[in-house]
Chain A
Amino acid sequence: MSFSAQTDNLRMFSEAVSSKCEKVRFGSEFCEWKIPSLPEVEKAHALAKDRGKVFTYITPRVSDEGLKKIRAQLDFLNGAGKIAIVVNDLGTLNIMGDYPELSPYLGRQLVHMPARCPWLKMRFGDLTSFRLKALKAMIEKRHVEDIYSQTSLNYSPTIRLFQSYGIQGVDLDWIPRCFPYSNFLVKAGLNLFVHLHLIPVALTRKCHTARFLGEKTPENCSKPCDSRAFLLKHRGLTDEAERKLFLQGNVVFRLVQPSRTDTEKLLRSGVTNFVITMNPVTKISSREEIDKLIVHLKQETDQ
């Protein structure tokens, strides 16, 4: 098992580099206005290098303005050795060819996973058509359910196309019903990185947190999401544990807790890379918390 700690915050990053994880990820995954400055990226890279950690840089969906910032950072990183870049925007992927030293990885926003939907089970309940004979309906339902458990990468031509752009790996979510299908991606030669806790359910540019807290413009946002997150409750819709919704910045997440059986299931399908996100929803912000989680997961699976 190999662990990466991920954050967009330099203070937390310095905690991450001193933890037991083998890799560290820095950068904003979801918000273009939280892309770190070039000096911050340089500092993060130097910190990781000092501590002997493998450094990965993460990029979000971006407008042209955001892409300019990313270009400057890629210019620097390209000269700093072989570094993995998590790409969440087709525009960023398009410019990756200009940086031969960097290895692009597909971010979660470029992989569609229907099972991220919090209400998928409700949908399955509605699937059976009463017009059909029972057995046929059941078989059909089963087949359709199977597709809802796959990703948009469970199709060889899609993988080949991304690989022609140099894609070497993919970020995925901790959704146990999808685990049996991840082996398809491993066999296609992709390195899989599974995020342990947070499943992104909805992403916006009209940041829900910023609007709620009265921020005026994205450019001048005080970034309240660095320290704040909200639990959203709606009777009937968010009652079950797996449907609990959290709002952090411009993303609505579902929070999941990895279980032993699911971890073993994932390891059996050939996935060995796990990502620990440091933020107010996971409540992981220090070296001790990362180490505790790593020890716990390793003990559970005897690895």
Chain B
Amino acid sequence: MPLLLSPINSFEGAVKVIDAGADEIYCGVAMQGEHRHFTLFRGPGASPAQLPTYDELERITEYAHRHNVKVIPVINEPFMSEALEKEVKNHICSCVEKGADALIIGDLGVLSIVKDVGVEAPLYASTYFVSMNCEAVDFLRKLGFSRVILERHLTIHEISEIVSRSKVDIEVFCHWGGCSNINANCYFYHHNAIPGFAMKRALKKAFDEKDPRSMVFSPCTLFYGVYDVSNGKKMCDVPILDAFTGCSLCHLQALIHAGVSGLKIVGRYKTAKDQETWTRIYRELLDFIWHGRSRIRHKKMREKINSLKNELGRTHIEIYCKQKRCFFSPLFNVPYESLIPSWELKKARRS
């Protein structure tokens, strides 16, 4: 059965997700030192997605190890520079010292530091390496990674192909964080890093207007005025960059059959309650599918998912189900279709 990996950003969250059935937990820890304000996506500097101190990490590892759960700190920004070397080195050593069972790495420079300080813990290749084919996985394997986390924009068929031909464990994202763009090549930094006044205002407006999309705070889900470059004419206002996905309950059976080793829930920035709820839901469905042994009939599967959906509440159904924001939906799916008048999109397409 694939391992279920849950995110945490506090001791309280760790206790809850372990209780809910996580096999492994992963977390960031805020890097200390002069460059602690350097944050790209969710780190390495301080952000609400990070544990504030190494002591908190130590407390968590002690608790998790008592329950046979592994703790995996993320050192995964796709960036490294000479100026950061000393602090990142200290950061890695501190994480290992506090009992980390493995490290998630997202940059080749950081990997060289890990090797330099002689870390013996297993190394997992982050999604920031954008592994989309068997050769990329092989490249990372040769560098010493024992698990590779695939890019989120792959289809189940592509994942299955990679799993069947790879010599390392393959992990995929299963819930939240199905970004509109390829993570490592997206510079719409927005997770408590770049928002600034204008973006906060735009997002607050969406929230105040009870826009169902406001659950996803990012520049790629905003409405943009779209102008044709050739004639300068405005075509329409649409969230043209919005391809956000965030749920794979309905595809879980296919993922298990594809043979992935790990299923990751995103949400280090979420509340402990959210982290716990989603861990419990995925745990229940994973066990249900696994113990069903062969393929579970479609009707029975639907009933099970629907029973879980009642637990998820209306918001989830409004955002993810009705707008078809499923991980592994067709690449050219248009989740914003239901958010704008159909004639507007038709008119734009005709023009």
On chain B, the residues within 8 Å of A117 by CB distance are: 187-189, 194
- CB of B40 within 8 Å of the partner chain: yes
Asked if residues B198 and A152 are in contact (CB atoms below 8 Å), the reply is: no
Among listed A15-23, A77-85, A142-150, A256-264, interface-contacting one: A142-150
Asked if residues B230 and A234 are in contact (CB atoms below 8 Å), the reply is: no
Asked if residues B37 and A89 are in contact (CB atoms below 8 Å), the reply is: no
Assembled-state Cα–Cα distance A120/B38 (Å): 12
Assembled-state Cα–Cα distance A252/B243 (Å): 14
Asked if residues B188 and A202 are in contact (CB atoms below 8 Å), the reply is: yes
In whole Å, how far is A175's beta carbon from the nearest beta carbon of chain B? 11
B88 nearest CB neighbor, chain A only: A155
Asked if residues B140 and A90 are in contact (CB atoms below 8 Å), the reply is: yes
On chain A, the residues within 8 Å of B132 by CB distance are: 61-63, 89, 91
In whole Å, how far is A91's beta carbon from the nearest beta carbon of chain B? 3
Chain B: interface residue total (CB-CB under 8 A):
81
Assembled-state Cα–Cα distance A95/B142 (Å): 13
Known A94-B136, A236-B198; contact A202-B185, beta-carbon cutoff 8 A: yes
**Residue from A156, A202, A246 within 8 A of B181 (CB atoms):** A202
Known A91-B135, A118-B187; contact A147-B83, beta-carbon cutoff 8 A: yes
Known A63-B154, A126-B196; contact A203-B37, beta-carbon cutoff 8 A: no
Asked if residues B219 and A203 are in contact (CB atoms below 8 Å), the reply is: no
Within 8 A of B (CB), among A57-106: 61-67, 89-95
**Residue from A92, A161, A216, A230 within 8 A of B227 (CB atoms):** A230
Known A89-B130, A91-B133; contact A64-B161, beta-carbon cutoff 8 A: yes
Interface size class of A (residues with CB under 8 A): 35 or more
Known A122-B197, A148-B38, A211-B334; contact A233-B225, beta-carbon cutoff 8 A: yes
Assembled-state Cα–Cα distance A134/B185 (Å): 35
Known A109-B185, A236-B202; contact A91-B139, beta-carbon cutoff 8 A: yes
**Residue from B151, B158, B333 within 8 A of A64 (CB atoms):** B158
User: Could you give, for residues 106-125 of chain A, a 1 whenever the CB lies within 8 Å of some chain B CB and a 0 otherwise?
Assistant: 00010010101111101101
On chain B, the residues within 8 Å of A238 by CB distance are: 224
Asked if residues A89 and B228 are in contact (CB atoms below 8 Å), the reply is: no
- CB of B79 within 8 Å of the partner chain: yes
Interface of A toward B, CB cutoff 8 Å:
61-67, 89-95, 109, 112, 114, 116-120, 122-123, 125-127, 129, 140-141, 143-144, 146-148, 150, 152, 154-158, 161-162, 200-208, 210-218, 221, 227-238, 245-247, 252, 280-281, 283
Sample of 14 more A-B contacts, CB < 8 Å, known A201-B188, A202-B241, A212-B226? A61-B182, A90-B130, A94-B135, A141-B37, A154-B81, A155-B81, A158-B109, A207-B331, A208-B180, A218-B331, A218-B332, A232-B224, A233-B224, A237-B219
Q: Name the 6 nearest CB pairs between A and B, nearest first.
A: A122-B196, A91-B135, A236-B198, A157-B112, A91-B136, A205-B153
- Return 9 A-B CB contacts under 8 Å, by A number: A89-B130, A90-B131, A112-B78, A119-B188, A122-B195, A158-B112, A212-B349, A231-B227, A233-B224
